[in-house]
Structure 1
Amino acid sequence: MIDHAHDLASVQTATERLLTAVGALDNAAVTQSSRLPGWTRGHVLTHLARNADALVNVLAGRPMYASGEARDADIEQGAPRALDAQLADVRESAERFRRAGAAPADWSRTVELRNGVTDRAAGVPFRRWAEVELHHVDLGIGYELEDLPAEFTEREIDFLARRFAGHRDVPATSLTADDGRSWSTGGGAEGGPVMVEGAAADLLGWLAGRRDGSGLRVKGGALPVLPPLERERRRSRSSGGDDRAGLPL
């Protein structure tokens, strides 16, 4: 069972950690490239703020964004802002999300995200947690996949492994972390079973599209090529569903 209250608290902790780290930057650093192709750090920070507001919309039963074009335009418009404006926006939007999460609600209800993806309301806080943690890494300011909370890393690997389970382009694949934790995924494509082993951070990086998998050990075939993030838009029924966590929502 998902503990949405625990995840909401984890979102706050992760947000404060990000704000503290970003607060040590300067205006020039905000305009520099992030690790996401085509995005500066200002793009990432603006996206995080708008994502918080979008998930408030989701919890309120409204469309996540007015449109994909509006989402992209808001990010482009906000990206060049100075550090103080970025920090205030991330902080204030995070507070709006916190208040929405604290309001009495039926957390078992179904909500709709982008591209027709659905989830239970209780899954939304973890999705926000993933956005904050992974985009903190994407900023390229010293916070790495190895620094992520162990609980988050395990749950995100599980989320993504289930996300690719049965995928027609991914052969049967077993994942084993160096500490012995294991998962299975794929199975819809010919070949396999492929055995992928390595540090949990490297497994997560590969699944979330943050690393190329070169740090992993592979047996039984080549490391599977995972589908591009934006191409996968099938409908989900639960928080283990069909959109890839870590994708900029």
Structure 2
Amino acid sequence: MDDHVRDLASVREATERLLTAAARLDNASVAEPTRLPGWSRGHLLAHIARNADALANVLDGRPMYASAESRDADIERDAARPLDTQVTDVRESSARFQEAGAVPADWSRTVELRNGVTDAASRVPFRRWAEVELHHVDLGIGYELEDLPEEFTRREIDFLAERFRGHSAVPAILLKEEDGRVTASGRTEGAPIAVAGRRADLLGWLAGRRDGTALTTDGGPLPALPPL
């Protein structure tokens, strides 16, 4: 089982890094685009806040979102708010998530996320950690994939490799990190394609944040990955 207590602490640390960086912005920069097509920094900060509440719902046994439409509408509604309101919302919603995580519970239980996806409750804090870290990068304010904690980068590579494992649209691949660590993903049949590179570049490719041009294969083109 994942160590949810340690992951909750990592979420707190990552959230503080994001809040400290976001507080240096101004109202004009909040309206500027992020690295996610069609989203301003206001959209992204609103999403980070609403995701904290959504994952608190999951831990409390409620639906993650009332509907896909309400999720999108809430983000759109909150996107244009001034910086101080955005920062306060992220801080307060993050505190609510931490409170939900502090309630004594069976962390081995299965919980339901979006679109019928299920997972162990113990993995929800790591999912929140990923939301905070990757979206901090997406804000485009100086925090890059290379700045992510090493533990997070390794675990997120494992998480995404697992997500693509057995996927019919992804050929068998072996992810080879610079220190020699190897992780299998993609289809289980066929000769695997070795994809090698720095951890930050491997994570960026798996997470759809980089195009993979910094990676190498043992022959042939880099496989195309379906959207997450």
Shorter-chain TM-score above 0.5: yes
**2:30 matched to which residue of 1?**
30
1:34-73 → structure 2 map (5 Å cutoff): 34-73=34-73
Residues in 1 aligned to 2:158 and 2:62: alpha-carbon distance in whole angstroms: 29
- Gaps of at least 5 residues in structure 2 are none
- Tell me if the contact between 1:137 and 1:144 (Cα under 8 Å) persists in the aligned partners: yes
TM-align CA RMSD: 1.0
Residues in 1 aligned to 2:3 and 2:82: alpha-carbon distance in whole angstroms: 36
- Tell me if the contact between 1:2 and 1:122 (Cα under 8 Å) persists in the aligned partners: yes
Residues in 1 aligned to 2:182 and 2:41: alpha-carbon distance in whole angstroms: 34
How far is the alpha carbon of 1:15 from its aligned partner? 0.1
Residues in 1 aligned to 2:69 and 2:56: alpha-carbon distance in whole angstroms: 19
1:1-249 → structure 2 map (5 Å cutoff): 1-187=1-187, 192-229=191-228
> Per-residue displacement from partner, 1:26-52 (whole Å, max 9, x unpaired)?
111100000000000000000000000
The aligned amino acid for 2:50 is R
How far is the alpha carbon of 1:221 from its aligned partner? 2.2
The aligned amino acid for 1:220 is G
The aligned amino acid for 2:103 is A
- Gaps of at least 5 residues in structure 1 are 230-249
How far is the alpha carbon of 1:103 from its aligned partner? 1.0
The aligned amino acid for 2:201 is D
Residues in 2 aligned to 1:56 and 1:2: alpha-carbon distance in whole angstroms: 18
How far is the alpha carbon of 1:162 from its aligned partner? 1.1
Q: 2:194 is paired with a residue of what secondary structure? A: strand
Q: 2:63 is paired with a residue of what secondary structure? A: coil
- Tell me if the contact between 1:192 and 1:220 (Cα under 8 Å) persists in the aligned partners: no
Q: 2:48 is paired with a residue of what secondary structure? A: helix
Residues in 1 aligned to 2:151 and 2:144: alpha-carbon distance in whole angstroms: 15
> Per-residue displacement from partner, 1:89-117 (whole Å, max 9, x unpaired)?
00000000011111111111111000000
Residues in 2 aligned to 1:82 and 1:149: alpha-carbon distance in whole angstroms: 30
**1:236 matched to which residue of 2?**
none
Taking a change above 3 Å as real, the CA distance of residues 188 and 38 of structure 1, as seen in their structure-2 partners, is farther
> Per-residue displacement from partner, 1:146-200 (whole Å, max 9, x unpaired)?
00000000000001111111111111111111121111111257x6421110000
> Per-residue displacement from partner, 1:54-96 (whole Å, max 9, x unpaired)?
0111011111001000000000010011000000000000000
Q: 1:195 is paired with a residue of what secondary structure? A: strand
- Tell me if the contact between 1:169 and 1:188 (Cα under 8 Å) persists in the aligned partners: no
**Count of aligned residue pairs for this structure pair:** 228
Q: 1:91 is paired with a residue of what secondary structure? A: helix
Which stretch shows the higher mean deviation, 217-226 or 127-136?
217-226
Residues in 2 aligned to 1:148 and 1:36: alpha-carbon distance in whole angstroms: 18
Which stretch shows the higher mean deviation, 214-223 or 119-128?
214-223
Over the matched positions of the two proteins, sequence identity in percent amounts to 71
